[in-house]
Structure 1
Amino acid sequence: MSTDKQTKVAIIGTGIFAKKAHLPSLENSPYFNPVAVYNRTIPKAETFANEAKSDLKVYKEFDDAFKDPEIDLIDVLLPVQFNLNAVEKAVEFKKNIVIEKPIAANLDQAREIVKISKENPNILIAVNEHWVYLKAVNELKNAITKIGNVVGFNYHSTGSFNFDNQYLTTSWRQNPEHIGGFLSDGGVHQLALLTSVLGNVEELNARTTQVRPQSGDVDVVWALCKLKSGVIGSFNYGSAFGNKEKKGFFEILGDNGSIYYDFSPKSGDRFILRTGGLSANDEKTEVEIKIDNEYWSTAREFELLGKELRGEKGSISCWPEVAFHHLAIVDAMLKSSQADSKTVVVATP
């Protein structure tokens, strides 16, 4: 792809996240030019096109986006059980493609996407998971070098159930085909942050439950994890509770200090780095580090995607193998819970 032109994008799917996140990110990016849209309900695609800043053409058929010679990139925001079909079409018509997280509805589909990606290295196949690109990832990795050997972690993200959550009203979430429902839809964000900082999960023991019928499936998990590095820790996730403060924190514990990263809405994005304690005579220090202008929107991942497409290799990191691992952790949690919390090894592609 030449460096002097914008990447022309066809958006497949016109749901809430396409309107509120992807379209603004694409329209405001110097790298991309959204030019077309498809939805199986044509009036919805037409409404989407009319509300866009760009002049979007509306496709009548799903395949039209992939056949269009003008298109450089397909941006897919469909219920995830359709991701595999979209990837297969992209390869057939030699189009670069990004799909929304989670990578697929189940591990069989996800494994096939990984296989297709490896067999077609000249076609960009990536997964949009913007938590991989948070500033906190690199900040925490840098801080970890100061706390000695990492021993354990506590990852906690809980909140009240939001009855007005517009994302929960979609039929594909209320009647999920994707494993774990809420856990794989929202939980992979949390797992993306955890594993981007500390590495992959090797095995776990978990308990899951469903509090709200509106969630469509299980919506709370408590898990004990062992990472491939040998680090052990807990992962607690769910926003299905009664009245409580929304709280998110990621605590990393080493033999020469600790890190307490608080990403709760009321706290802002900050972490406390404490060092010392490896020996009785060590000086102990404490410093608070604020993360300004965190990349909570999708703009950053599209910026990096634009650079990747222009030859800056390594700009993006959420390839199918990475996204597969996030979903495989959810799969292991479900299997462990169903087996009375027995130890389950996290699957590989």
Structure 2
Amino acid sequence: MAPLKVGFVGTGIFASDFHLPALQAIPEHFTPYSATNRTKSKAEKFAEKAKIDGSKVYDTIEELVKDDQVDFIDALVPVQHNYQVIKTAVDAGKPIIIEKPLAASLEDAKKIVELDKSTKVPILIAEQWVYFKAIELIKERLTKIGDVVSFTHKAIQQWNPNSPFLQTKWRQNPEHIGGFLSDGGVHQIALLTEVLGNIESVSANTRQLRDISGDDDILFSSVKLASGAIGTYTYSTVFANNKPESSLIIYGTNGSIYLDYTDKDHITIDTYVGETTSTNPQHIEFKEDLFSEGIQYEFENLYEAITSNDKSILKATPAKSFHHYAFFVAAIESSKDGGGAVKVAQL
């Protein structure tokens, strides 16, 4: 089968530095074909890098989707435009992958979910953490530790004032609820919910440390899952000089599981089984880069759905992404109300 021809909508940093290399790494499946951007000169520069013919640089998405040769859309736009971009693609019968978080509001997020339910056109949300190898590895071991009682999930990353993502205006002045918290934090919530199930409620405190964030950028929370398990979730990328830590610890009635994914080159899972102290956990370790490899997983998943005409095999669906985003909407509401418990919106 010939490679699928990709139409890029939005040609900024993430399109150029992450999505394009991921697609070019799988030339038997994908060919960069066309592009559009609000600033056409940026699309033209991107086209040169992607080896896209200049005649396939369009002024608008409406023009791009009319091109019968475009097999699917890769959209990387400010979150507040997600719904309209998805609708434009679906109305033209074009499968689409679009960056997270799902929308700028729960209202728009629900509209995307309803649109997805109403069409056979594949809609994939670019939440690559649902493909994290650790998810299946942990789920295989959950029964060994009995009923899950509690968990601690922490993602504290080193502050990087030189991050190119800090320079994007729509992130500095976010229209989507949660700002940097929901933009980055949906990844950890995807990991948590893929392993332990949906979240029922959250009690949270948030605050803003960095002016450039445009909104709150620190989150400490207490979480209750639909299963009844309770735990904590902490997330920030803005603390000054610190020891980064990314971990998920799950406590069961017959043991515990420790995932440490701080270092992508040395990810570990230790499983302790039994009610008494054990110094010999079941230990596994592996490497995985959820930027480069994870993005390739997304595109391979979309390729399979398109070529098999079966959108049911998509892993990062709008419905899943809705729940991840709804968690942050509830967390921000909780913080504004003094940290009381707030129910997470369900579909």
Aligned to 1:97: 96
Matches of 1:68 and 1:226 in 2, distance apart?
48
1:301 partnered with 2:298: yes
1:8 partnered with 2:2: no
Given residue 23 of structure 1, which amino acid in structure 2 is its aligned partner? Answer: L
Cα offset, 1:194, TM superposition: 0.9
Cα offset, 1:88, TM superposition: 1.4
> Structure 1 pair 208/215, CA: closer, same or farther in 2 (3 Å)?
same
Aligned to 1:268: 266
1:287 partnered with 2:282: yes
Aligned to 2:183: 185
1:17 partnered with 2:14: yes
Aligned to 2:112: 113
Does the Cα contact within 8 Å between 1:65 and 1:74 map onto a contact in 2?
no
Aligned to 2:245: 247
Matches of 2:288 and 2:324 in 1, distance apart?
25
Matches of 1:62 and 1:192 in 2, distance apart?
29
Name the stretch that deviates more: 338-347 or 24-33: 24-33
Q: Secondary structure at the match of 1:240?
A: coil
Given residue 179 of structure 1, which amino acid in structure 2 is its aligned partner? Answer: I
Aligned to 2:166: 168
Matches of 2:91 and 2:160 in 1, distance apart?
41
Percent of matched pairs sharing the same residue: 42
Matches of 1:16 and 1:313 in 2, distance apart?
28
For 1:1-349, list aligned pairs within 5 A: 4-29=1-26, 30-55=28-53, 57-120=56-119, 122-265=120-263, 268-277=266-275, 285-297=280-292, 298-311=295-308, 314-349=312-347
Cα offset, 1:288, TM superposition: 1.6
CA deviations 1:104-143 (Å, max 9, x no partner) are 11111101100111111x1111211101101111111112
Matches of 1:238 and 1:143 in 2, distance apart?
28
TM-score, length-normalised on structure 1?
A: 0.94
Q: Secondary structure at the match of 2:175?
A: coil
Q: Secondary structure at the match of 1:9?
A: strand
> Structure 1 pair 18/316, CA: closer, same or farther in 2 (3 Å)?
same
> Structure 1 pair 75/336, CA: closer, same or farther in 2 (3 Å)?
same
Q: Secondary structure at the match of 2:266?
A: coil
Given residue 317 of structure 2, which amino acid in structure 1 is its aligned partner? Answer: W
| Root mean square deviation of aligned Cα | 1.7
Q: Secondary structure at the match of 1:288?
A: strand
> Structure 1 pair 230/109, CA: closer, same or farther in 2 (3 Å)?
same
Q: Secondary structure at the match of 2:157?
A: strand
TM-score, length-normalised on structure 2?
A: 0.94
CA deviations 1:57-94 (Å, max 9, x no partner) are 21122211111111110110000110101111112211
> Structure 1 pair 232/166, CA: closer, same or farther in 2 (3 Å)?
same
Given residue 102 of structure 1, which amino acid in structure 2 is its aligned partner? Answer: P
Cα offset, 1:31, TM superposition: 1.9
Cα offset, 1:215, TM superposition: 0.7
Does the Cα contact within 8 Å between 1:40 and 1:62 map onto a contact in 2?
no
Cα offset, 1:295, TM superposition: 4.2
Q: Secondary structure at the match of 1:160?
A: coil
Cα offset, 1:241, TM superposition: 1.0
Does the Cα contact within 8 Å between 1:203 and 1:227 map onto a contact in 2?
yes
Matches of 2:59 and 2:210 in 1, distance apart?
37
Matches of 1:284 and 1:261 in 2, distance apart?
16
Matches of 2:5 and 2:333 in 1, distance apart?
42
Matches of 2:52 and 2:66 in 1, distance apart?
21
Instruction: Provide structure 2 residue ranges, at least 5 long, that are not aligned to the other structure.
Output: none
Q: Secondary structure at the match of 2:238?
A: strand
Given residue 251 of structure 1, which amino acid in structure 2 is its aligned partner? Answer: I
Matched positions, count: 342
